[in-house]
A and B are shown apart, each in its own frame.
Chain A
Amino acid sequence: GAGVSQSPRYKVAKRGQDVALRCDPISGHVSLFWYQQALGQGPEFLTYFQNEAQLDKSGLPSDRFFAERPEGSVSTLKIQRTQQEDSAVYLCASSRTGTSGNTIYFGEGSWLTVV
């Protein structure tokens, strides 16, 4: 497809379970972003890649969160030992280049519920 694709769209995890969320950015886009959006809140920045390089991971809330983009295209956000406060929508986004002012396109999000 032409847009940012995320899977799974919905995930229910038991507390303590590990989860992996996948993002397929728009083809050829250099930059890829992960955001976390709690219910009724704005998206909060988690981490950012240019190609395969993770340039900023300052928003990752703990060392249970890990993101990778090994070949500079598809990215995976992994959450280990999930906790209830991890319940949120995880949004992936991409932009064409790594310079400021480029349009950032978002996927539909992966809705994670930890029970």
Chain B
Amino acid sequence: GENVEQHPSTLSVQEGDSAVIKCTYSDSASNYFPWYKQELGKGPQLIIDIRSNVGEKKDQRIAVTLNKTAKHFSLHITETQPEDSAVYFCAASTVRDDKIIFGKGTRLHILP
């Protein structure tokens, strides 16, 4: 089955700097890659997603890139702000169904 690896597990960046989180997946049938943000005591919330027919997608300060050949995808957050502090999860799902498999998460700290 699908396996999603995520790193780093913890990331600290200065406010205003950029943060990058990287993930790899194992199943070549994967075609949908969402990213979720989870704040303490809350459920995961979708922040951006990308499908396998595009290589990059951007939404304001957040962008995601996908390299299908290498089976990896990345989340880029620019001009980080204190409210970006949270745990971020990458995930993948295949053409077979719409269940998603998560990475283990990255705890992002934005330093003042």
Contacts and interface: CB of A to CB of B under 8 A. Distances in A.
Interface in A3-53: 4, 31, 33, 35, 40-45, 48
Interface string B79-112: 0000000000100011111111111110000000
Interface residues of A, number: 30
A98 B99 CA distance: 9
A75 B101 CA distance: 21
Contacts of A107: 43
Chain B residues touching A, range: 20 to 34
Given A42-B104, A101-B93, A56 B99 contact: yes
Nearest to A6: B43
Given A43-B44, A43-B102, A105-B46, 5 more contacts: A41-B104, A44-B102, A45-B99, A56-B97, A58-B1
A104 B105 contact: no
